[in-house]
Amino acid sequence: SQQGEEDPQALSIQEGENATMNCSYKTSINNLQWYRQNSGRGLVHLILIRSNEREKHSGRLRVTLDTSKKSSSLLITASRAADTASYFCATEGKGANNLFFGTGTRLTVIP
Amino acid sequence: DAGITQSPRHKVTETGTPVTLRCHQTENHRYMYWYRQDPGHGLRLIHYSYGVKDTDKGEVSDGYSVSRSKTEDFLLTLESATSSQTSVYFCAISGPTSGGLNTYNEQFFGPGTRLTVL
């Protein structure tokens, strides 16, 4: 399976703290994406990082990519209760039009 | 949800009955996907379409068929539903659009359909 693996499976932090989630994958990729899913809703795209990029920022989000280790991390700074959700990484393989999703990290931000 | 609707949103059916789920988009995106989401498995691709009447299998296609007769609609059919197909089903779309804007890599998801097979 090309599915990514997120770590940890669940994370609970206080509001204002930073949250870091990690993703490992198995094959060469074109890009890696992070999605958020609120309970009972569809996934929402957060950020995309291409295979030739090492770091990318979007608002309070910071994503890193290490293709030599086949891993990525998502950092959410100054977390808010509204950040409570599940976060998924997804990889697009070389020559593929499809995404392979990990199993997700469940983030709980305590007010 | 980026102009994507799914119907029905909830369905309870019995083993052995046929079920069709519909995904409708108003964004004119070329690619459409069907995923299922189960605890411990994340999202797994069932089938996808890269154009009208052009479809291909995903990771977990057994027991499912799809059809795309026009750009805006992508149907997922369970010919004879089984309890193992109880799941939440998500449709997604991605570009490019007919206008040529390259939102190729990012997928937009519908709200999901919760299917229970008894």
Per-residue pLDDT of B46-72, as tens digits, reads 999 988 999 999 989 999 999 999 999
pLDDT higher than 90, residue B96: no
**Residue holding tokens 């007919």?**
B98
* pLDDT reading at B116 higher than 80: yes
Q: Which of A96-105, B20-29, B94-103 shows the lowest mean pLDDT across its residues?
A: B94-103
Given a cut of 50, the residues of chain A with pLDDT beneath it are: none
Q: Which pLDDT score is estimated for A40?
A: 87
Cβ contact, residue pair A98, B90, below 8 Å: no
Neighbour-count burial for A12-21, b at 16+ CB within 10 Å, e otherwise: ebeeeeebbb
Chain A residues with CB-CB distance to B43 below 8 A: 43, 88, 101
Q: Is the pLDDT of residue B110 over 70?
A: yes
Buried b (16+ CB within 10 A) or exposed e, A71-90: bbbbebeebeeebbbbbbbb
B87 at A interface, C-beta within 8 A: no
pLDDT at A2: 55
Residue B1 or B9, more confident: B9
CA geometry: angle B31, B34, B38, nearest 5 deg: 145
Taking CB atoms and an 8 Å limit, are B1 and A42 in contact across chains? yes
How much is the mean pLDDT over chain A? 92
Structure confidence at residue B55 (pLDDT): 93
